[in-house]
Structure 1
């Protein structure tokens, strides 16, 4: 949420600064919770791809607002994150088995009630490529979730709705009692972004997830019997089952803003607002240091 971003014209961008959220995405999780009651009776929570930490902020404020001292929240990201009250932050890779071990150690060997991921790649504008990379990121989060979630737990992740999203819906349907595609009002209507809400985790009978780094996503799920295509020796193909998940728009029309609309500012408010949390280790940090030292020269 930098000052020069085009997002400064967005009402959610400004409200996030006014209310102390690190990013406008906080409202997406708040609206998802408003629709599905995600935070009811949860004690152990894992926020994947968490940086800069707006979802972890929401989880901390909502879960601990009733002073529930036994709750635990773990936030994981490859990028460093500034501390958040009541949240344990791990700078780690979600595909690494050591990350799973660290989380389970924090939870005292207990399984999680809720796993979420708001992660997304830097989009290229090539929709097919962006959708594929995002789907792989979701599957990586799902791999870890199958190792972490207790039976009946909930998984929420950002998705890009594209041509083959019905295959992902179908596969998630083998693992959860209820799968819904949700679009919060804080998510721009012009974006492919939506969120898959998976409720009631059902571990596959006879299958034990094994998070080995050398296994591809395909290999991890291959013996899980979740409707994936299979080529037999005689060249027969078992095609994937495909389903369409119910679609829900989230956010109260009376209290939520339209992210694609323009709103007038209070006439008394004319100044810009600084970011709630400056980046801890941004990719451009080294470039700025080199520029200050005169090591960068323009053409």
Structure 2
């Protein structure tokens, strides 16, 4: 496994580094925008579960311009972007960061404060839990994360706004669809070309935010405590409800499951590109420090006994 082995396996990982994105997931939002025109008329945007910041990068470049041009939106307002995450994130130009919990009403209030009392035009969320490999468990946890993102979205999104969030598409996707339809007139399950076919990952694109007239956002009550028919999709045949599904990206886009040669352009030699932004405070930072300073050996490991037979192997210290 050489230094560029991941470059050989994943074309979008390689392109993300070459184009200056912090993660390959930036292409997912870009391809969703190509299909749904998410950024049209957007002046205030929120990125939930933002770290390491690739979607915030997309929002910054698309809404503010490549070279700090276009500080004013289409309606003449200043473009404002707020990124929220529990983890710290390296700074981005034009992006205000909030290190907070999306399940707290104080976080929603701080978002509105940064927007000077105005609601957001667009809310995106690419958050996902650490997967266990048990699909039913992963789908449930991801669904709860999506509903938590939806709950804070109801506090900060303007009527007619757009909400985009990641899901793990499984057998219960119809339940999520029915819950989202309470708040949005248009809900589509989309799969960008940069999302691997081998992954159950997809994205719910919810357009035209129009909550029920009697709905009042409240973090204290059970989420989405409204009447909807949980058995509405138990019907069969033509009466069965099919969740709208759309594959984003044409056939000319790179296939995320295919391996491409390093030298894509015959006239350009491949050069290794380091990641745009190394992780800050990664969980393995202490382990790297210990390994670098040769401190991983355990002090309580058994020592070699002087009377030990020469035929016996010496006990080894535990190192990683």
Answer yes or no: same fold by TM over 0.5.
yes
The 5 Å alignment of 1:50-199 reads 50-65=50-65, 67-69=70-72, 70-199=78-207
> What corresponds to 1:231 in structure 2?
none
> What corresponds to 1:248 in structure 2?
246
TM-score, normalization: structure 2?
0.83
Q: Secondary structure at the match of 2:223?
A: helix
> What corresponds to 1:285 in structure 2?
285
CA contact under 8 A between 2:187 and 2:204: conserved in structure 1?
yes
Paired with 1:280 and 1:45, the residues of 2 have a C-alpha distance of: 24
Structure 2's unaligned 5+ residue stretches are 73-77, 234-240, 298-317
Residue 6 (structure 1) shift: 4.3
Paired with 1:174 and 1:295, the residues of 2 have a C-alpha distance of: 56
Residue 269 (structure 1) shift: 3.3
Paired with 1:58 and 1:102, the residues of 2 have a C-alpha distance of: 22
Residue 264 (structure 1) shift: 1.8
After superposition, the C-alpha distances for 1:154-179 in whole angstroms (9 at most, x for unaligned) are 00001101111111011111110100
Which structure's CA Rg is the greater one? 2
After superposition, the C-alpha distances for 1:37-74 in whole angstroms (9 at most, x for unaligned) are 00000111000011110000001000112513301100
Paired with 2:171 and 2:26, the residues of 1 have a C-alpha distance of: 28
Residue 288 (structure 1) shift: 2.1
Number of residue pairs aligned between Structure 1 and Structure 2: 279
Structure 1's unaligned 5+ residue stretches are 229-238
CA contact under 8 A between 2:80 and 2:94: conserved in structure 1?
yes
Paired with 1:29 and 1:63, the residues of 2 have a C-alpha distance of: 13
Alignment CA distance shift 1:19-1:7 (3 Å): same
Runs of 4+ in 1 over 6 A off after TM superposition: none
Deviates most, 88-97 or 239-248? 239-248
CA contact under 8 A between 1:170 and 1:244: conserved in structure 2?
no
Aligned pair partner of 1:264 in 256, 261, 265: 261
Paired with 1:155 and 1:109, the residues of 2 have a C-alpha distance of: 19
User: Does residue 42 in structure 1 map to residue 39 in structure 2?
Assistant: no
Paired with 2:141 and 2:118, the residues of 1 have a C-alpha distance of: 31
TM-score, normalization: structure 1?
0.88
After superposition, the C-alpha distances for 1:138-161 in whole angstroms (9 at most, x for unaligned) are 011011111111101100001101
Q: What's the Cα RMSD here?
A: 1.8
Q: Secondary structure at the match of 1:221?
A: coil
Residue 287 (structure 1) shift: 2.0
Paired with 2:121 and 2:53, the residues of 1 have a C-alpha distance of: 19
